[in-house]
A and B are shown apart, each in its own frame.
Chain A
Amino acid sequence: MASPRTLIDKIWESRLIDSKPEGDLIYIDLHLFNEVTSPQAFEGLKLKGREVRRPELCMATADHDVPTGKPGLQVLDEIADKQLRFQKTYCKEFGIEHYPMSSSGNGIIHVLGPEKGLTQPGMTIVCGDSHTATHGAFGAIAFGIGTSQVEHVLATQTLRLSRPKTMSVTFMGTPHPDATAKDLALAVINTLGTDGGTGYLIEFRGDVVHNLSMEGRMTLCNMAIEAGARSGLVAPDETTFAYLKGKERSPKGSLWDLAVDYWHSLATDPGAQFEKEIEIDVTGLGPMVTWGVNPAQSVPVGSKIPSLESFATKSERDAAVAALSYMGLEPGISVSDIPIHTVFIGSCTNGRLEDLQAAARVLAGRKVSSSIRALVVPGSASIKREAERLGIDKVFSKAGFEWRSPGCSMCVGMNGDVVPPGKHSASTSNRNFEGRQGPGARTHLVSPETAAATAVLGRIASPSDLPQVNKKKGK
């Protein structure tokens, strides 16, 4: 009998074309593009006179550079404009499915794949973007690649890679009801550190994970990269199938049944070994917030920034000193004393409909504090339409949020949406690196619910910190 295998082993082996000491050659089922990391790959391809091998396995969107203000707004600068035009040109030239700025199918690349049913269990998916990990939520091996590798996949539809090691992360216990997938993700990174996952693909396991919606799983897998892992995966289950059923590009008719049978077989076999197995006790875990300049530097909302003595190693302590100096904060102060200036809800981490609904529930009948600039940027045009149909846009606008058009926006600050220098933001994005949200910007990563509560109180707070809404005035 064959020995038991993990989900990761099964997918890897099913896509394996050749195995050599210098690495495995694996087939890529879906290649996604944004406008920023691919121009040079297409240029390289053309310079060598090569063709795109499988345009029908490629999909492109414009997300990093697009303005998210009122429709018809100009792109930030000439170069953004050049990248957007470039993308249009090569997608046309090579016959690639493309959702340009302002088109009705546009959105953040990692939101679009799942939304269109292009992301399915058992696939290998790559994109010149590290948050490709998001697609792992469906039980796919999905990871970010550099521009040379983009070119390699364009030309060959394969990659030569050292086989990643496997890690299981199993959540134990029951988190606090206020904990979201984002808080789980921050807890994972806090436990593993920013490089604990280096060299690994992670399978997230346990009831806590399988009780998450697909949106929650995407949030969790999205941030696996912030623990250094190439990607995070969740084994496909009934929640996955229910999400996929009826999506534009999901299998139809008898193919659906065939596919589901196969997807069922992907789950890790009982007794299969991972190269590393980690358990994280999330009993009582509640809303989390980052205080430093990497996503591992986090504490529970309502608690204090750690004292320098509390760090186990000198390098962690040095990192904390550098982080606090950039953030203009002191060790030991309460995170609720941090003056917040901007609240951003959006990104491929937390810009899906469910995230907007969760934030809207907190905001209903409430007002954004006068000291706060708050904006919400849906992850895709279709999410924006759906939210408007449900009246969620009204809840945001009434509360004092700017309701904007889809794009990466303030997650990366490339389109002109930035946090002013020296100001603090509470952001539902994934990276609190120095300058990530604009030069000098000081980012605190939080869930959509915490972002909404923070906007109302003007300081980092969770929904349970909010006074009750007067029910008569509410709605």
Chain B
Amino acid sequence: MEPVSIIKGSAYPIRRSNIDTDQILPAKWMKRVERTGYENGLFEIWREDSSFIINDPERSQASIIVAGENFGCGSSRQHAVWALRDFGIKAVISSRIADIHRGNLPQEGIVPVELDQDVVELIMAATEANPTVVIEIDVTNRTVTCEDAQVFAKPFRIDNASHFNLIHGYDPIDITLTFEKSIEKHESSRDPWLPKCSPEFA
């Protein structure tokens, strides 16, 4: 994956809290075995309404979603992140992004940006008022700037592990495999009663 350092672009403000992953990508889109091609599933039901912000032609170049609190709650489906990625989303700004989704976003290079609700509100209002408003996310230094919202280099919250992998573009599996010795050591001292699986049971 490419390292991510700066994200700059206009946004889709979605003034709604508790946007769950069933809304981001309806379950029928999970009926696929591919990892790409999910862009048309993004907010599929809400998009049927032509006034839904994602359909705004003035925002066709937008790359950031600004949403209400608890974005991405519900199902663990990473397919929702593939839909965001395939649609061209690079970052999600919310005062709170649900745990599993927050961990899934950076796996596809999308930056989960958590800011206090009053700052989210300023950015939301600015981009609602003007579709060309630009938001700049300095991933390396964990800050957000949006001049039109009078938000300057505001620090945002992001999990350390996600931040580390995003800015380095690391494949987390490669990193973990360098801990082979420690993993083996743990495996050699596991409790003897722990259960085992085998095709023979089935």
Instruction: Give the B-binding residues of A (Cβ under 8 A).
Output: 15, 17-18, 21-23, 25, 27, 29-30, 36-37, 39-40, 43-44, 48, 50, 55-59, 64-65, 77, 79-80, 82-83, 86, 91-92, 95-99, 103, 105, 116-118, 120, 122-123, 128-130, 143-149, 151-152, 155-158, 160-162, 194-195, 198-199, 228-230, 248-251, 255-256, 258-259, 262, 294, 315, 318-319, 322, 412-414, 431, 433-436, 439
Give the docked Cα–Cα distance between A146 and B163 (Å): 17
* Bound: A414/B26 CA distance, A: 10
The interface centre, meaning the residue of B33, B45, B175 with most chain A CB atoms within 10 A of its CB, is: B33
- Residues from chain A with Cβ under 8 Å of B177 in the complex: 155-156
Contact (Cβ within 8 A) A194 B73: yes
Q: A29-B194, A151-B173, A431-B22 known; A17 and B186 CB under 8 Å?
A: yes
A250: chain B residues within 8 A (beta carbon): 195
Contact B33 A40 (CB under 8 A): yes
In the assembled complex, how far is the CB of residue B86 from the closest CB belonging to chain A, in whole angstroms? 13
| B contact residues around A99 at 8 Å (CB) | 202
Which of B33, B77, B103, B191 makes the CB contact (< 8 A) with A149? B103
CB contacts (< 8 Å) of A116 on chain B: these are: 201
Looking at the complex, which one of B30, B78, B191, B195 makes contact with A146 (CB distance below 8 Å)?
B78
The answer on a CB contact under 8 Å between B33 and A39 is: yes
| A22 surroundings in chain B (CB, below 8 A) | 160-161, 163-165
Q: Chain B: how many interface residues by the 8 Å CB criterion?
A: 67
| Segment 139-184 of B: residues with Cβ below 8 Å from A | 159-161, 163-165, 172-173, 175-177, 179, 182-183
| Chain A positions within 8 Å of B173 at CB level | 48, 50, 151-152, 155-156
Closest 5 CB pairs of A and B: A23-B161, A251-B193, A146-B104, A146-B78, A148-B107
C-alpha spacing A235/B55, complex, angstroms: 49
Contact for B33 among A83, A195, A255, CB less than 8 A: A83
B→A interface (CB under 8 Å): 15-18, 20, 22-23, 26-28, 30-35, 45, 68-70, 73-79, 81, 96, 98-101, 103-104, 107-108, 159-161, 163-165, 172-173, 175-177, 179, 182-183, 185-187, 190-202
Q: Would you mind naming 20 contact pairs between A and B with Cβ atoms under 8 Å apart? A: A25-B179, A37-B78, A56-B196, A64-B30, A65-B31, A79-B33, A80-B31, A82-B33, A96-B197, A105-B202, A128-B78, A129-B76, A152-B173, A156-B179, A195-B73, A195-B96, A198-B70, A198-B98, A228-B73, A431-B22
Measured CA separation A158–B197 after assembly (Å): 17
A414 CB contact (under 8 Å) in B27, B107, B185, B187 = B27
Closest CB-CB distance, A259 to chain B, in whole Å?
4
Bound: A229/B175 CA distance, A: 27
The residue from B18, B99, B195 contacting A319, defined by CB atoms under 8 A apart: B18
The answer to whether B159 and A162 touch across the interface, beta carbons within 8 angstroms, is yes
Q: Are B32 and A23 in contact (CB under 8 A)?
A: no
B194:A120 contact, CB within 8 angstroms: yes
- Chain B residues with CB under 8 A of A255: 192-193
Return chain A residues, CB-CB under 8 Å to B163: 22
Q: Give CA–CA (A279, B78) in the complex, Å.
A: 34
CB pair B18–A198 under 8 Å, yes or no, is: no
Q: Which residues of B contact A65 (CB under 8 A)?
A: 31
Known: A157-B187, A294-B18, A318-B17. 7 other contacts (CB 8 A): A120-B195, A129-B75, A146-B77, A194-B73, A262-B191, A322-B16, A413-B27
A130 adjacent to B164 (CB under 8 Å): no
> Residue A130 contacts which of B17, B75, B81 (CB distance < 8 angstroms)?
B75
Contact, CB under 8 Å: A56 / B198: yes
B193 and A157 contacting across the interface, CB-CB below 8 Å: no
| A148-B78 in contact (CB<8A) | yes
Find chain A residues with CB under 8 A from B100 CB.
Answer: 130, 143-146, 230
Q: Are A27 and B26 in contact (CB under 8 A)?
A: no
Select which of B26, B77, B99, B165 is within 8 A of A198 by beta carbon: B99
Q: Cβ of A40 and Cβ of B35 under 8 Å apart?
A: yes
CB proximity of B67 to chain A, nearest CB, Å: 12
- Chain A residues with CB under 8 A of B182: 17-18, 25
Q: Are B77 and A37 in contact (CB under 8 A)?
A: yes
Complex: A108 Cα to B129 Cα, angstroms: 47
Please name all residues of chain A whose beta carbon is closer than 8 Å to the beta carbon of B75 when the two chains form the complex. 129-130, 431
| Cβ–Cβ < 8 Å partners of B201 in chain A | 97, 105, 116, 248-249
Query: In the complex, A300 Cα to B35 Cα: how many Å?
Result: 43
Compute how far the CA of A69 lies from the CA of B27 in the bound complex, rounded to whole angstroms: 21
B195 surroundings in chain A (CB, below 8 A):
30, 117-118, 120, 249-250
Contact of B23 among A144, A414, A433 (CB under 8 A): A433
Q: Are B76 and A228 in contact (CB under 8 A)?
A: no
Q: Which residue of the partner chain B has the closest CB to A436?
A: B22
Q: Do A98 and B103 touch (CB < 8 A)?
A: no
Minimum Cβ distance to chain B for residue A147 (Å): 4
- CB distance B196 to A57 under 8 Å? yes
Bound Cα distance A148, B187 (Å): 23
